[in-house]
């Protein structure tokens, strides 16, 4: 991980705030990544409007991972509310300056020159960086190759 960020100690409950515009990872993938980084932890999900996604999260969590991007629709006091619930908070620099003061680790995509220009690729890049700041390694898999199963079967018949 860059800048020497390490995982946090004693993480039992993780709350993930999904992005309201684009989400690169689904619930199952995030659950898998986080549980590998923090064995024995429970992962809960909410939307930027605060609605539960799946099971209800406890009133206090150990780690908050907030994928809310700049310009996303969100309640004004939402970052304060989320920070109050969590021991550690990681997120993106979005909205007013107070998020950088509230959260423990912030990813600022506006100063990251290596972020791809394409919107979806850039969103995936930013979300991986937020997970990296949270101590959750995300390894990109290689590209999917062309499905040649029918061609191979036809070649075998000859």
Per-residue confidence in pLDDT tens, the chain, 158 aa = 445 567 788 899 999 988 877 788 888 889 999 999 999 999 999 988 777 888 888 889 999 998 888 777 777 788 888 888 899 999 888 766 667 778 888 888 888 888 888 888 888 888 899 999 999 888 766 566 676 666 766 666 66
Task: Give the model's pLDDT for residue 97.
Answer: 64
Q: Please, how many CA atoms are within 13 Å of residue 11, restricted to the half-sphere of its CB?
A: 25
Say how far apart CA 52 and CA 151 lie, in whole Å.
Answer: 46
Task: Give the model's pLDDT for residue 1.
Answer: 40
CA-wise closest residue to 45 among 18, 12, 82: 18
Check if the beta carbon of residue 18 is closer than 8 Å to that of residue 50.
Answer: no
**Strand ranges (E), 47-152:** 52-53, 61-66, 86-92, 105-107
Which residues lie across from 44 on neighbouring strands?
15
Residues for the chain: how many in total?
158
> Distance of CA 132 to CAs 5, 51, 145, Å?
8, 25, 27
Q: E strand or H helix at 88, and its extent? A: strand 86-92
Task: Give the model's pLDDT for residue 34.
Answer: 92
DSSP 8: P
Task: Give the model's pLDDT for residue 41.
Answer: 92
């Amino acid at each position: 991980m860059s800048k020497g960020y390490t995982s946090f100690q004693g993480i039992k409950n993780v709350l993930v705030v999904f992005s309201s515009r684009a989400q690169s990872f689904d619930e199952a993938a995030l659950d898998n990544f986080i549980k590998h980084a923090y064995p024995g932890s429970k992962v809960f999900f909410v939307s930027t409007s605060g609605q539960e996604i799946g099971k209800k999260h406890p009133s206090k969590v150990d780690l908050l991972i907030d994928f809310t991007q700049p310009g996303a629709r969100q309640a004004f006091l939402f970052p304060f509310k989320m920070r109050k619930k969590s021991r550690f908070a990681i997120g993106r620099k979005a909205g007013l300056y107070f998020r950088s003061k509230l959260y423990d680790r912030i990813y600022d995509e506006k100063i990251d020159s290596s972020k791809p220009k394409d919107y979806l690729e850039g969103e995936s890049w930013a979300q991986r960086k937020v997970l990296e700041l949270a101590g959750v390694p995300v390894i990109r898999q290689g590209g999917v190759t062309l499905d040649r199963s029918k061609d191979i079967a036809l070649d075998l018949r000859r």
